[in-house]
Copies of this chain bind each other. A is one copy, B any other.
């Protein structure tokens, strides 16, 4: 699969997720009737028109790998993006990472206010589980499996727990192991969740589920390494957010500890591991493998 083919496919999914998000966050729509308009605007500010929608893409492509119809999983994919966006809105708050710019726009608490940002994040998280439950095209066991999976990976033993570890770490030097644990939870858990969601949606075998989980964990590692590398090397215009923030805060990252050449070698190694993990699926896994490469190579 060529890079331009891959990017077209990624963009098509992003557009479909955008449409589903916009419909879900429309006060005149069926999902959130009677929600206060200002709160909905804050939710839209935090969720619409942003990002590559990587997690929905991984979910839909991993579902497709096991024969599920991606059209029937779009609500579940959108739910995962709601969880991701909620985490960005809350992580940007003054009490957390205190960021003023996200995706080239003011963060939600800057564009609205702190209380509204907290509630918008809460509401996006709450919406996510409703979107999964309402996904009529999926079996009941698939939907329940997804709710359980997202709850585990987004919560205190996953993404939110990783953010807590990250905040606890400010001002002290973490070991490489501690950094790895924190990042596996903070960033890796939701990416692994997206990949594991595919076999859950398709009611696939436990072995497939475990394999896609491992693939997702590898992609998560690559994603974080590439992110940290960008923080070392890119500028704010490229990132759409402040660059060098981790360095400025004294946060240690693996690229900062081990250098750029080490990081590039490690990224290549992770891509090889990702390919090996999906080798049993042959050509069917082409898109997911292209995604792993894309994540490792990304420049923004």
Contacts and interface: CB of A to CB of B under 8 A. Distances in A.
Interface of A: 32-36, 38-40, 43, 86, 90, 93, 95-96, 113-116, 118-119, 121-123, 125-127, 129-130, 132-134, 140-141, 143-145, 147-148, 150-152, 154-157, 160-161, 163-165, 167-168, 185
21 contacts: A34-B157, A35-B156, A39-B164, A43-B156, A90-B122, A93-B115, A95-B113, A95-B114, A116-B167, A118-B118, A119-B156, A119-B160, A119-B163, A123-B156, A123-B161, A126-B156, A127-B151, A130-B152, A133-B144, A133-B151, A144-B144
A188 to B, nearest CB: 12
Contact of A130 (B119, B130, B147): B147
Contacts of A130: 147-148, 151-152, 155
A163 B39 CA distance: 10
Contacts of A119: 90, 156, 160, 163-164, 167
Contacts of A150: 129
A118 B107 CA distance: 17
A140 B143 CA distance: 9
A145 B143 CA distance: 11
Contacts of A156: 32, 35-36, 39-40, 43, 119, 123, 126-127
Contacts of A39: 156, 160-161, 164
Main secondary structure of the interface of A (DSSP, over half): helix
Contact of A125 (B35, B113, B125): B125
A213 B127 CA distance: 21
A217 to B, nearest CB: 14
A187 to B, nearest CB: 15
A287 B129 CA distance: 32
Nearest to A109: B95
A231 to B, nearest CB: 21
Given A32-B156, A156-B43, A164 B116 contact: yes
